[in-house]
Amino acid sequence: MVSREKHGIHRFFFLLTAVFAIALLGRVVLLILNNGTNAISTYRDPVVSPQVVRGTITDRNGRILAMETPYFACAILLKEIDDLEKTATILGQVLGMSSQEIIALTAGKTTYTLVKRRLSDAQYATIKELIDKRELQGIVLEKRYGRTYPQQFHAAQLIGFTNTENQGLEGLELAFDKELSPYPLLADTTTYGADIQLTLDMDLQFLLDTQVVEIDNLHHGDYILGIIMGARTGEILAATTFPWYDPNSYSLSTPQERQNRLITYMYEPGSVFKVFSLAAEMTAAEADFSESFTCDGSYTFTMDGGGSTTINCVSPHGTVTPATMIAKSCNGAVAHWALQTSDQKFHDLLQQMGFGTAWDIGLRGSIPGLFPKVDNWSGRTKATLAFGQELGVTALQMATAATVLTNGGSLLQPSLIRSITSSAGELLYEFKPTIAREQVISTVTANEIVSYMVQATQSGGTAINTAVKGISVASKTGTAQILDPQTNSYKDGTFLASTLSIVPAADPKYIIYIAVANPKGATIWGSNIAAPAIRSIIQDMVRQGKLQSSSQSTVKL
């Protein structure tokens, strides 16, 4: 049973942080009373500051995505040094530094100087031996903790990274910095952060990333976006933004590589959007679907306010029904039915599917995209919206909108956080599937749209390259021109190729969405670029046992 609880992770932790702050204030006051006015400066001295061990981030199966690993740093206690020049010379020989470099680090300091943050095993052993032999005095080896990312580039833009001070800078590491690394409350004890378990399934993440590499090798897109989502839960099971980077060496990456385009990159979705337009048209119940529509390759209509405009299809489609509109991807038919639907109803139903919504999945920077108000529509906006132009979406919005089709007509809240557990083992947060908007469309309409998407995977359909023997697959492909924001016109020869799939169609478990920006290979079509990749993912899901193959590939709804 799906709950209607609000997605209030950050609200909960705001209150938790306030409690920590009050406790910390009480601790500082106690220190002042016991130790005098110098207590605060003593408490903050790096030599005596307590160690904070940052919490672990794992996938849904416990696979480690971010963890603490110990290392040693080397520091000088200046008040215990009799001959700084001699100490710097000996230490420099071990660390590969000149004595002048080390002495320069002490300038303006009276008690403590950090010389090197992370020692190699050999450097640590040599310095420890010199200290034990009393050949080095006033030198301390501090055990510290740093961040390691065992999965390297996989889901890197989601997870993010920390700086040299172990503070979160991007991704979940930044968004949940206070939970992962709370401020220490006691001077002489180690403070442990909360552990965060994500909804990600790294087995699926590897499948998705494998196909992204294959797409890049064949088609060389500027960006490749991919999401696998739980069809009945809204859980993000895999998500990728290519190009990647390795958070273990984030300083070698570019801001473009680190950008999480799943929630920050806006684009026109193209024909994949037709499944949502048709759902809105059917729900509004104003279009006459019994009226025969014939596609001769173009569709001309009179705009409000006068004048006419023409919408083209790739080829003539003949007589078009809602089912063949999806299967053959007819621009004219979906535009015609949109024009028969009132402006506000069409707008509001699509908005209820999440377009124009900046989804909160626990990450910063999520954008609402561009979904224009009716007052800002031109004479052709409604018709072009119907086939995925004149709006801007994110990949997360596209995958999330599909939950309307897989969840009986209700829209689910997307989620990336599965649970948060304190260092004491207390469950602080646990994911529950949450309805964001109830019954946007009817269950009957949702099932009909999925059945039309199944037909698109059969002979003559544009999504036949997603078909997998023994698995009922529902898909819609798309190929959209890319708008140049500088000129506000379409760039010549630049396209976005995409495919949205639901599997199994008869009992949806997964939503898979892949979009490739500006492919440069032999083809530009979503049916030839994203669709085969999704087919390979589905085949691998069967091999992993995540999908059950049958002898029949038909769907009953």
pLDDT tens for each residue of 303-340: 887 889 999 999 999 999 999 999 999 999 999 999 99
Query: Percentage of the chain with pLDDT > 90?
Result: 69
pLDDT attached to residue 183 = 76
**pLDDT above 50: residue 482:** yes
pLDDT attached to residue 10 = 53
Say if CB 278 and CB 337 are below 8 A apart. Answer: yes
pLDDT tens for each residue of 240-298: 999 999 999 988 999 999 999 999 999 999 999 999 999 999 999 999 999 889 999 99
Domain boundaries, the chain: 72-148, 202-544
Runs of H (alpha helix) within 183-330: 202-219, 255-258, 261-264, 274-284, 322-328
Which pTM value belongs to this model?
0.84
Q: Pick the range with the lowest mean pLDDT from 19-33, 37-51, 354-368.
A: 37-51
pLDDT tens for each residue of 486-504: 888 888 889 999 999 999 9
Between residues 81 and 405, the one the model is more confident about: 405
For residue 330, give both structure tokens: 């007819």
Q: Domain 202-544, what architecture?
A: 3-Layer(aba) Sandwich (3.40)
CA 341: distance to chain centroid? Answer: 34
| Polymer length in residues for the chain | 557
Q: Measured between alpha carbons, how far is residue 222 from residues 42, 164, 491, 520 in Å?
A: 52, 31, 14, 9
**pLDDT above 90: residue 39:** no
Q: Pick the range with the lowest mean pLDDT from 84-98, 270-284, 394-408, 461-475.
A: 84-98
Of 491, 259, 230, 224, the closest CA to residue 363 belongs to: 259
**pLDDT above 50: residue 13:** no
pLDDT attached to residue 537 = 98
Query: CATH classification of 72-148 is 3.30.1390.10, yes or no?
Result: yes
**pLDDT above 70: residue 41:** no
> Averaged over 174-196, what is the pLDDT?
84
**pLDDT above 70: residue 382:** yes
pLDDT tens for each residue of 526-553: 999 999 999 999 999 999 999 999 844 4
Alpha-carbon distance of 95 to 554, in angstroms, equals 68
Specify the pairing of strand 195-198 against strand 57-58: parallel
Q: How far apart are the first and last CA of the chain?
A: 21
Band (49; pLDDT cuts 50, 70, 90):
very low
Say how many CA atoms lie within 13 Å of 229 toward its Cβ: 35
Average pLDDT score, the chain: 88
Alpha-carbon distance of 387 to 368, in angstroms, equals 19
Q: Pick the range with the lowest mean pLDDT from 194-208, 236-250, 298-312.
A: 298-312
pLDDT attached to residue 8 = 52
For residue 485, give both structure tokens: 């924001």
Say if CB 520 and CB 219 are below 8 A apart. Answer: yes
Give the three-state DSSP class for 235: strand
pLDDT attached to residue 9 = 55
The maximal CA–CA distance of the chain, rounded, in angstroms, is 97
Say if CB 446 and CB 279 are below 8 A apart. Answer: yes
Runs of H (alpha helix) within 39-146: 39-44, 84-95, 99-105, 121-132
Please give the single-letter amino acid code of residue 53.
Answer: V
pLDDT attached to residue 187 = 56
pLDDT attached to residue 186 = 61
**pLDDT above 60: residue 520:** yes
For residue 392, give both structure tokens: 């801007």
For residue 202, give both structure tokens: 């790294």
Band (405; pLDDT cuts 50, 70, 90):
very high
**pLDDT above 70: residue 26:** no
pLDDT attached to residue 188 = 62
For tokens 């995540």, the residue is 546
Of 127, 228, 322, the closest CA to residue 547 belongs to: 228
Q: What b/e string do you get for 162-193 counting C-beta neighbours within 10 Å, with b at 16 or more?
A: beeebebebbbbbbbbbbbbbebeeeeeebbb
